[in-house]
Structure 1
Amino acid sequence: MDLLNVVKEAGIIGAGGAGFPTHAKLTSKAEYILLNGAECEPLLRVDQQLMELFPDEIIRGLEAAGRYIEAGKAIIGIKGKHKQVIVLMRERITALGLDGYMEVMELRDIYPAGDEQVLVHELTQRVVPEASIPLKVGCVVINSETALNISRALAGTTVTETYLTIAGDIPQRMTVKVPVGVAIREVFKQCGVGNIDDYAVIDGGPMMGGVMSNIDGFVTKKSKGYVLLKKDHFLIRKKSVNLAQARVISRTACEQCRMCTDLCPRYLLGHNIQPHKVMRALSYNLDVKDQQIAQLCCECNACELFSCPANLHPKSVNILFKQKLAEQGLRYQPVQMEFAPRAPREYRLIPSKRLVAKIGLTAFDKPAPMTQVEFKPEYIQIALRQHIGAPATPVVTVGEQVKAGQLIGKIPENSLGAAVHASMSGTVVESTDTSIVIKVG
């Protein structure tokens, strides 16, 4: 079986956040394969620890993917502050005889260094065109955990676990390996929080993650972390503003200073995204069809949580216009394909430490060490859509005994999707179009 089918059958998806099925990335050839080890979201600590714990597996997974797409070079991007990890990865690349094919490049400690398009430019000096993907400039990007899962798939292991960080205003910050389908509340029990109801929870990183309205959910393959903060924290209050409220606030108070645009990571790469113009359109009721630049927003939240001096909501306004454009079936059409960074870019990059201070997380910006935890849930609930694309189709029935690693959901015919596997052995007690519940044991 070739690598693409190994990856497909193992159910590997992008572990860095969006959950794009990895086998789909392996269908094209590219000049470079890039490993995203930036992990630019504040407080999250997964990637650098995985590279420290499993360097050979990650390197081998990256090499396998790179050779398959016929990439001439593999580059690992790690922030320069992770000196120990950089030294280790370079040593292991040499020991594995891959010096001529693979190298580690140090990234600056900026936000969002882990954005695919920022990463591509930092590592190759190329700029991905507007509304496009890294493949357009000869690059395929995967992250550390994805490379680890590729290596393990080659050894016959399917994706049934994920690594995530629990951080924030809590007694014990930690990074743990969690079986897919475990209740999120079970994860929180490990971090020493007495009453979880005193907290609000951000699903993912503090910049791009959203405040969870209900924490009675279950861990998925793309779960990367949870940030727990008291409900009156600035970040929670800011993220709890809904789109309707953001529209009113932004419409009445925007002073058109254009800081949201001047510090926008995609604008600085040469793209036409200009949040201040979208804010202006909101104020003057300009035609929606003329605001298609809103679709270039990657929702990194730099404008909303760092740049705006008036504490307004440019990212939310971009999302609002994206929704309106989608309703009308309108799509941004680039007028050029060659881009170069804007001249002031080098002076407008956002330092991570300054960002952490701005959003009130300095006191919680501490290690979250990898911690061995044995989860013993009575039930697990495994979502059939943990990825971009169509939900998986159940292949098991109620009452059926399943084993850990067994296929329980397959990719629908002629669809983009990912296979789903049981993370623990047990009995299927419920099977719907959205999830499968297994009684463990």
Structure 2
Amino acid sequence: MNLLDMVKEAGIVGAGGAGFPTHVKLQAKAEYILLNGAECEPLLRVDQQLMALFPDEIIKGFEAAGKFVGASKALIGIKGKHKKVVAILRERVEALQVGDFVEVRELPDIYPAGDEQVLVYELTGRVVPEAGIPIQVGCVVMNSETALNVYYASIQQPVIQTYITVAGDVPKPFTIKVPVGTPIIDILKLSGIEDFDNCAVIDGGPMMGPMMSSLDGYVTKKSKGFVILKKDHYLVRKKSVSIELAKRVNRSACEQCRMCTDMCPRYLLGHEMQPHKMMRALNYALTDVEGQKIAQLCCQCNLCELFSCPAGLYPKFANIHFKGKLAEENIRYTPKKSDFIARKSREYRLLPSKRLIARLGLSPFDKPAPMTEAEVKPEVVYISTRQHVGAPAVPIVSVGDYVEAGQKIGKIPEGSLGATIHASISGNIVEIEKDFIAIRRDEYAKSNRNG
């Protein structure tokens, strides 16, 4: 098998949160391959630690992917503030004798440095077209954990584990490796909190992550972290606002100051994303569909809502409202040009991460979350068939089957975009539903048989 087949067989998807099947990305031919090690979401600590703990594996996986897509240069993007990690990566690039191909480049400590279009600009100076993807400017982007998984795929190891940071208002912030399908509550309890009645949990980073309505979920391949905060925290209250209340607040107070637009990362790259115009259209019930189309350029970084707006309004909601409305009518934005230049004001409007963290009320929780040796051994894992972009995986096992950790249990539907899934533990298949395959751990299965 070539690398593409190994990556496809291993079920690798984007580990940065998007979950796009990596084997599809590797089918492209690119001038650059970029490693997204920015990890710009406040409090999350996975990528920076993986690059320090597994530099050789990440570099080898990244190099292999870069060679496969025909790139002339492989650029690792990491924030310059991580001086020790930068030094480790540069030393290992030289030791592995790949310095003529792989280069470590430092990123500014801004939000959202990890947005792939911002990353492309910071590393190459190229602007991805509106409504476009990096390959349109000759770039393929992958996350550092994804590169690690590419290395493991090259030695026949599928994706059955993922790394999670648990942070926020907790006694013990930490990062941990867990089997895919682990109950989220089992991980959260390692933070030192037992009673979550007065807590709320954000699934992912504090900027883009949604509030969890229930703690009964399970980890997927694209899970990156959980932020625990008290229910009365500003961020929890902000993210918990209902759609109807957001509409009323927007209509009552928006003064069209343009701050949401002037600091929008995509607008600063030269795109026509202008949230203040979406607020205007929503508040005054404007019906110009052509003018609403720019809402589809929103990357949902949430900077407009959680930092830019001086009145604390909800511009991102306005964008999402029109994106949904246009999607229902199957209307798509069409760029009016193909070449884009970043706006001259961009360098003066970049948002330092520390300022963002302070604005979010997270400064007291901006602490290390060291990798822990603790082991989570769930009795039952629930492997989602929908933990990636595309069609759900089709089960190839039956209830009662015994499976080994790493065994394929779900395949990509014929002719569809998707990813394979594998057993993350050894044991018996105890349930198969439309959205998941449940596996009971081997020792529990044996004890039940003996009982």
Q: TM-score higher than 0.5 here?
A: yes
Residue identity opposite 2:138 in structure 1: G
> Which residue does the alignment assign to 1:246?
246
Distance in 1, matches of 2:345 and 2:402, equals: 61
The runs of 5 or more residues in structure 2 that have no matched partner are 443-451
Distance in 2, matches of 1:207 and 1:362, equals: 14
> Which residue does the alignment assign to 1:386?
387
* TM-score (structure 1 length as normaliser): 0.99
How many residues align structurally? 441
Distance in 2, matches of 1:239 and 1:261, equals: 20
> Which residue does the alignment assign to 1:278?
278
Query: CA deviation digits over 1:362-410, x for unaligned, max 9?
Result: 0000000000121121111110010000000000000000010000110
> Which residue does the alignment assign to 1:173?
173
> Which residue does the alignment assign to 2:445?
none
Alpha-carbon offset, residue 315 of structure 1: 0.4
Alpha-carbon offset, residue 244 of structure 1: 2.3
Q: Which residues of 2 match residues 65-214 of structure 1 at below 5 A?
A: 65-214=65-214
The answer on whether the counterparts of 1:162 and 1:177 sit within 8 Å (CA) in structure 2 is yes
Residue identity opposite 2:425 in structure 1: M
Deviates most, 339-348 or 248-257: 248-257
The answer on whether the counterparts of 1:30 and 1:139 sit within 8 Å (CA) in structure 2 is yes
**Are residue 320 (structure 1) and residue 321 (structure 2) matched?**
yes
Distance in 1, matches of 2:227 and 2:413, equals: 34
The answer on whether the counterparts of 1:33 and 1:66 sit within 8 Å (CA) in structure 2 is yes
Query: CA deviation digits over 1:196-247, x for unaligned, max 9?
Result: 2221000000000000001101000000000000000000000001222211
Distance in 2, matches of 1:398 and 1:282, equals: 50
Residue identity opposite 2:391 in structure 1: A
Residue identity opposite 2:424 in structure 1: S
Query: CA deviation digits over 1:270-308, x for unaligned, max 9?
Result: 000000011011121111513010000000000000000
Distance in 2, matches of 1:370 and 1:8, equals: 28
> Which residue does the alignment assign to 2:26?
26
The answer on whether the counterparts of 1:169 and 1:364 sit within 8 Å (CA) in structure 2 is yes
- What secondary structure sits across from 2:150 in the alignment? helix
Distance in 2, matches of 1:243 and 1:34, equals: 37
Distance in 2, matches of 1:342 and 1:246, equals: 30
- What secondary structure sits across from 2:42 in the alignment? coil
> Which residue does the alignment assign to 1:434?
435
> Which residue does the alignment assign to 2:446?
none
The answer on whether the counterparts of 1:288 and 1:321 sit within 8 Å (CA) in structure 2 is no
Alpha-carbon offset, residue 13 of structure 1: 0.3
The answer on whether the counterparts of 1:77 and 1:105 sit within 8 Å (CA) in structure 2 is yes
Distance in 2, matches of 1:219 and 1:270, equals: 37
Distance in 2, matches of 1:56 and 1:279, equals: 48
Residue identity opposite 2:13 in structure 1: I
Residue identity opposite 1:158 in structure 2: P
Residue identity opposite 2:311 in structure 1: A
> Which residue does the alignment assign to 2:51?
51
Residue identity opposite 2:158 in structure 1: T
Distance in 2, matches of 1:183 and 1:85, equals: 31
The answer on whether the counterparts of 1:278 and 1:291 sit within 8 Å (CA) in structure 2 is yes
- What secondary structure sits across from 1:98 in the alignment? coil
Alpha-carbon offset, residue 194 of structure 1: 2.6
Q: Between the two proteins, what is the percent identity of the paired residues?
A: 65
> Which residue does the alignment assign to 1:358?
359
Alpha-carbon offset, residue 17 of structure 1: 0.6
* TM-score (structure 2 length as normaliser): 0.97
- What secondary structure sits across from 1:197 in the alignment? coil
Distance in 1, matches of 2:215 and 2:387, equals: 17
Query: CA deviation digits over 1:37-79, x for unaligned, max 9?
Result: 0000000000010000000000000000000000000000000
- What secondary structure sits across from 2:246 in the alignment? helix
Distance in 1, matches of 2:347 and 2:304, equals: 17
Deviates most, 149-158 or 371-380: 371-380
> Which residue does the alignment assign to 2:401?
400
The answer on whether the counterparts of 1:243 and 1:317 sit within 8 Å (CA) in structure 2 is no
> Which residue does the alignment assign to 2:348?
347
Deviates most, 239-248 or 20-29: 239-248
Alpha-carbon offset, residue 325 of structure 1: 0.8
Distance in 2, matches of 1:409 and 1:133, equals: 29
- Cα RMSD, aligned residues only: 0.7
The answer on whether the counterparts of 1:407 and 1:419 sit within 8 Å (CA) in structure 2 is yes
The answer on whether the counterparts of 1:394 and 1:433 sit within 8 Å (CA) in structure 2 is no
> Which residue does the alignment assign to 1:309?
310
Residue identity opposite 1:287 in structure 2: T
Alpha-carbon offset, residue 102 of structure 1: 0.9
The answer on whether the counterparts of 1:380 and 1:437 sit within 8 Å (CA) in structure 2 is yes
Alpha-carbon offset, residue 314 of structure 1: 0.2
Alpha-carbon offset, residue 317 of structure 1: 1.0
- What secondary structure sits across from 1:201 in the alignment? strand
Alpha-carbon offset, residue 116 of structure 1: 0.2
